Structure 1
Amino acid sequence: MNPSIFRQYDIRGVVEQDLTSPVTIKIGRAFGSYIRRRGGKSVIVGGDNRLHTRSLCKRLIGGIRSTGCDVIELGTVPTPALYFADIELDADGSVQVTGSHNPAEFNGFKLSHCHASVFGENIQELKRMIEENDFVNEAQGKYEEKEIMSDYQDMIVGKVKLERPLKVALDAGNATASLIAPRVMRALGCEVVELYCEPDGTFPNHHPDPTVPENLVDLIALVKETKADAGIAYDGDSDRIGVVNEKGEILWGDQLLALYAREILAEGPAPIIFEVKCSTALIEDIRRHGGKPVMWRTGHSLIKKKMKEMNSPLAGEMSGHIFFKHQYYGFDDAIYATARLLRIMAADKRPLSDLLSDLPRYPSTPEIRIDCPDHIKFEAVNRILDQFKQTHQVIDVDGMRVLFEDGSWGLVRASNTQPVLVLRFEAKSEERLQAIKKEIEGKLCQIVDMLR
């Protein structure tokens, strides 16, 4: 068994190479044992529409039931629909089998216990149980299938009302949003223009990852051609949203978060949580609207935990994970985030491009990913952090975000899911941006070369 499949937030690997049939069954046995030893018995299982997801679900469920847990299988559903079912059916645990936005040969398992993510040390506990063959063995648990999508749709439509109809283009990337996004938006009263909304686990048109601008090219063209009010794109399991305005301009996660925060902060001050890659413009905007900006670590499990600790109504990431506790459940749901965006747009007669026209756009880089082996990536971050701490103010909640006196900043952090270092830079001018990028990248490359 490849121990590196046990990541910070989930279990993830290459199907039939890492996630073989025996390994998948053992993951089910470990998770079932984890639930049973904490007094639970019921587990919900769902999955995305990748070609190998159904066979993984079958093996996983067999392992879970061998521990005496009862399993409710939802079939092919978006991850937020599984989260909704987990809460509504009051299950003791849940598993979504999904490769999310990762390459086609990958798949994985997002785990929950008592409606909270299983991550970090608890995922390592599952690894230990498998390595030691430490499983609960009881009479096989019960099995049933349940349809949840109708209830999920009704829930969202019941929570969100639009003041006027809008025209929206939807790109589901042939992934799980195909099953629900057009239905929900039409039920809200929108005119929907569909793009790649036929489920196809081969993802023939583009990979379902809205953080990659190339994946939005067709959506941008469709928005302009049809004169839609906005275009919305989704990742593979529908927990991340991508947005383009009526001009075809991309709105990134921190810009969307600013828009959502303004609506919520109009009701009163509150902490708004965001991750370390977000722009200074978001921090300034949250303060300007009476909120408390809270920078935190990247990762859906970590963000949700921090939201509970601070009783925050809203959190988000550059990647398009948007978490609403305000009028919602607190989990990341791109279908619901779409509905909330449309509600904001419908309540304002201005086009989407005007709603954030007062939010500064500081020169910045996209997310830069540098290959770096797993066994040295965290040490590389620690070493560059130690260097800059001597001379600069540094935020170290998640890697290193070094702050310069002129308001510029540079980020270096180790990915928790891939063998890469993640970098991002922002400054008040393009010239300054390139200067800090060159300085930090130069020092980082020296460190990585030394550690290899």
Structure 2
Amino acid sequence: MEGLTSVGCDVYDLGIAIVSTMYYARQKFNIDGGVMVSASHNPPKYNGFKLCQGQNTLSGQEIQNVLKIMLDGNFAKGMGKIVPFPKGNEEYYGELKEKVKIKKKLKVVVDSSAAISALFVPKLLEEMGCEVVDLYPELNPTNPPHTPDPVAMDAYEVLIKTVLEEKADLGVLFDGDADRVGFVDDKGRIQLGDVILTLLVQDYLPKHKGAKVIVELKDSEMVIDEVNRLGGVPILWKTGHSLLDEKVHEEKAILCGEMSCHYWITPDWYVFDDAVHAMCQTMRIISESDRTFSEIIDTFPKYFATPEYRIGVPEDKKFELVKDVVDYFKPKCTKYLDIDGIRGYTDDGWFLFRASNTGPLVSVRAEAKTPEGLDRL
């Protein structure tokens, strides 16, 4: 904060907050930029900054431009001020409670990963009328109870056990800075971002005929099936939070969901990814139904899929490898999309091969209509 004020910026200090609160405060109060101190799900020895300017988070060349300013020491001169701004936190949770109504009392198990959501989510849910089983009410960032990552399947062990023991309606698991949330249904099954996006599509598209939905390349084909069935426009797009956020703004989409558990729900809300808002809307949908969470999920189109496999490849080789794979498989596909590696279709289903945005890895996934088709893929 001292660095920002030394170059003439006024800093609005939210204090301890989840990522959504920072996004919310910027849009609600017309603040130019935002900085979140977070390393998300990375090990405790890491830290980092999430930077925002204008409508979106910074990515790609914009981050390189910031790095160049730092390395060149090309700083402006000035003297800004620090403004304590707890109002940003207070109004975010207040507006959530005002706009999202959970119609019946649900029992929910909350796994904060002993991270920042522990300070806010259980209290919010209690104030919204839920019965809350709070697994980790105390912060423990240096020794979390498990990997604070909703796509790490082993992170769910205690949450699944508790949902079943408590006969809860659902469980939720947040990452380190609470911008992603995974779900466990009442049968103890893990439900990731593409399943929750399908749930949201079924609720929102009948009210927004012809609306656009951004579907991440790793998402299940069932999302596209449901968007088409309900008269919406599915737009497959590149993996990566910043890329999807930009696309949501560009297309004026009403929904977007990433398999890794980022969610955008824009009707009667703001245009940023918001895991806590997505949790509340998911619980609203469950509360309005005469079926359980698992019974709703069981009505979705059935596909058979692999997990996402992440394979180590040297950073200087991964893009060359992906290009070779794309060139090899294109002629073998009935159709394909090559905006980010390749999502290639065959008579059985589809496969994905792409380079990771964040490390020396390639990502591989496949999905088919039958188990036999998945074996062939």
TM-score (norm 2): 0.96
Partner of 2:132: 192
Tell me if structure 2 keeps the 8 A contact 1:169–1:192.
yes
Q: How does 1:399-438 map to 2 (within 5 A)?
A: 399-404=341-346, 406-436=347-377
Q: Does 1:110 align with 2:11?
A: no
Please show how residues 138-153 of structure 1 align to structure 2 within 5 Å. Answer: 138-147=77-86, 148-153=88-93
Q: Distance in 1 between matches of 2:189 and 2:6?
A: 51
Contact in 2 for aligned 1:166/1:191 (Cα 8 Å): yes
Following superposition of structure 1 onto structure 2, how do residues 94-109 of structure 1 map, counting pairs within 5 Å?
Answer: 94-109=34-49
Q: CA deviation at 1:149?
A: 2.4
Structure 1 residue 429: Cα displacement: 2.9
CA apart distance, 1:96: 0.6
Matched, 1:272 2:213: yes
Aligned partner of 1:369 among 292, 310, 321: 310
Q: Confirm or deny that 1:221 pairs with 2:161.
A: yes
TM-superposed deviation, 1:318: 0.2
1:85-115 per-residue CA deviation (whole Å, 9 max, x = no partner) reads 1122321111111111122222221111123
What is the RMSD of the two structures over their aligned residues, measured on CA atoms?
Answer: 1.4
Residue aligning to 1:387: 328
Partner residue of 1:359 out of 300, 304, 309: 300
Partner of 1:16: none
TM-fit CA distance, 1:250:
1.1
Structure 2 counterparts to residues 9-408 of structure 1, below 5 A: 61-136=1-76, 138-147=77-86, 148-267=88-207, 268-392=209-333, 393-404=335-346, 406-408=347-349
TM-superposed CA distance for 1:391, in Å, is 3.1
Q: Deviations over 1:170-214 (max 9, x none)?
A: 111111111111111111111111111321212431121111111
Query: Structure 2 vs 1, CA of residues 361 and 106 (structure 1 numbering), >3 Å: closer, same or farther?
Result: farther
Deviation at 1:130, TM superposition (A): 2.4
Identical residues among aligned pairs (%): 39
- Residue 352 of structure 1 aligns with an amino acid whose one-letter code is F
Q: Secondary structure of the equivalent of 1:277?
A: coil
Distance 1:305-1:204 versus aligned 2 partners, 3 A rule: closer
What is the identity, as a one-letter code, of the residue corresponding to 2:217? V
Deviation at 1:431, TM superposition (A): 3.5
What's the CA shift for 1:257? 0.3
**AA aligned opposite 2:287:** A
CA contact (8 A) 2:36 2:49 kept: yes
Three-state SS of the structure 2 residue aligned to 1:294 is strand
Q: Distance in 2 between matches of 1:382 and 1:132?
A: 35
Matched residue type, 1:263 = D
Q: Secondary structure at the match of 1:75?
A: coil
Shift of 1:352: 0.5
Whether the 8 Å CA contact 1:262–1:289 is kept in 2: the answer is: yes
Q: SS of the residue aligned with 1:72?
A: strand
Is the 2:348–2:373 contact (alpha carbons within 8 Å) kept by the matching residues of 1?
Answer: no
CA distance in 1, matches of 2:278, 2:137: 18
What CA distance in whole angstroms lies between the structure 2 residues aligned with 1:328 and 1:227? 32
Hey, what does 1:32 align to over in structure 2?
Answer: none
- 1:3-50: per-residue Cα shift (whole Å, max 9, x none)? xxxxxxxxxxxxxxxxxxxxxxxxxxxxxxxxxxxxxxxxxxxxxxxx
Contact kept? 1:408, 1:426, Cα under 8 Å: yes
Measure how far apart 1:150 and its partner are: 2.1
CA distance in 1: counterparts of 2:3 and 2:313, whole angstroms: 34
Q: Using the alignment, how far apart are the partners of 1:427 and 1:344 within structure 2? A: 28
Q: Which amino acid aligns with 2:80?
A: G
Aligned counterparts of 1:103 and 1:291: Cα–Cα separation in 2? 40
Q: Which residue of 2 aligns with 1:3?
A: none
Cα distance in structure 2, aligned partners of 1:191 and 1:420: 41
Q: How many Å separate the matches in 2 of 1:145 and 1:373?
A: 45
Rounded Cα–Cα distance in structure 2 between residues aligned with 1:293 and 1:370: 29
Query: Which runs of 5 or more residues in structure 1 are unaligned?
Result: 1-60, 437-452
Which amino acid in structure 2 is aligned with residue 230 of structure 1?
A: L
The runs of 5 or more residues in structure 2 that have no matched partner are: none
User: What CA distance in whole angstroms lies between the structure 2 residues aligned with 1:426 and 1:255?
Assistant: 14
Structure 1: 4+ residue segments shifted above 3 A:
none
- Give, as a single letter, the amino acid of the residue that structure 2 aligns with 1:354: E
Aligned residues: 374
Question: Deviations for 1:216-257, whole angstroms, at most 9, x for unmatched residues?
Answer: 110111111111111111111111111011110111211110
The one-letter code sitting in structure 2 at the alignment partner of 1:395 is L
Q: What SS does the aligned partner of 2:344 have? A: strand
Q: Is the 8 A contact 1:173 1:196 kept in 2?
A: yes
Change (3 A) 1:163 1:289: same
